[in-house]
Structure 1
Amino acid sequence: MSDQVMTIVMSAAAGIGAIIAFIAAIVTSYEIERRSDGKIMRYGVPRYTNMVRTAIAGPSVAKDEETRELVKKLRMRLLFVFALMALLALTTLQY
């Protein structure tokens, strides 16, 4: 396989993987928010979740052990997203 084709394949895989991991992180963040205070807007629509605050705040958000595990999972997923974005940037800037 030529270098250009390999770059395209790696970029596509990193981009798709980052999107999938980001969606999984959003779902995890909503689950943490629901477990923390359970506030929802009217008509059952969940309120806005702030993934960065949820991942950094840790102890103030996570009161029980299960929620702490979810926060740890959220941090790992966000780290994975950032790593894939860095890989995407490196493969894109290579050519």
Structure 2
Amino acid sequence: MVGMVELLTDDQVADALQHLTDWRHEAGKLTRTVEMANFPQAIQAVNRIAEIAEQENHHPDIDVRWRTLTFYCITHSRGGITQADVSLAQEIDSVIDAFQS
């Protein structure tokens, strides 16, 4: 992240969630839980998301429980949700959609 990143207001987060229908605003983070077909597919999805996160230098917190993945997007350095988190959530959705189609 270069420069100062602005935290989004609650209204801005609510607006973003209208387009991120599988996500919720929970404990100051964007959160999504998804169930994959099996454990190997879940790990493949995590690996693809890890590549994207490295490229963008913005990383989600990911909880892996067998084939259930939970993603948490928060800008830790700012203590809340920024536009980078919204963009990352959109990228995660694209990866999950590709695996589930």
Whether the TM-score (by the shorter chain) exceeds 0.5 is no
TM-score by length of 2: 0.33
Higher RCO (C-alpha 8 Å, min separation 6): 1
Which structure: larger Rg? 1
Q: Which of the two has greater strand per residue?
A: 2
TM-score, normalised via structure 1 length: 0.34
